Amino acid sequence: MSEPTCSNILDANPGPIGFVVGKNCEYAAVPFGNQLMIIHNGQQLKVCRTAQSARNFIDKHRKGKSVGRLPV
């Protein structure tokens, strides 16, 4: 058996590194080619080009829309 090799170890730009966000690691940004895919509750939400744009999207998505109730 041959040992596994890391073919991108000598690349000058190895690509994005994934990260998780939230108290319970609710959101994950995983490498997808040269981009980052945002995953939340097992669903793929969006593909972002940079880590900063992924963080901005996650912040906006976490806030969501407030659901107000009108008095009847």
Residue 44 lies in a domain: yes
Q: Tokens 């041959």 sit at which residue?
A: 2
Tokens coding 45: 């939400």
- What per-residue confidence (pLDDT) applies to 38? 95
Residue 8 lies in a domain: no
Residue 13 lies in a domain: no
Residue 67 lies in a domain: no
Residue 38 lies in a domain: yes
Compare 71 and 40 and report the one with higher pLDDT. Answer: 40
How far is 48 from 21, CA to CA, in rounded Å?
A: 15
- What per-residue confidence (pLDDT) applies to 11? 64
Closest C-alpha among 49, 27, 54, 31 to residue 39: 27
Residue 7 lies in a domain: no
Give the residue numbers spanning the domain of 51. Answer: 19-61
How far is 36 from 26, CA to CA, in rounded Å?
A: 16
> What are 7-55's pLDDT values in tens digits?
556 666 667 788 888 888 889 999 998 899 999 989 999 999 999 999 9
pTM higher than the cut 0.75: no
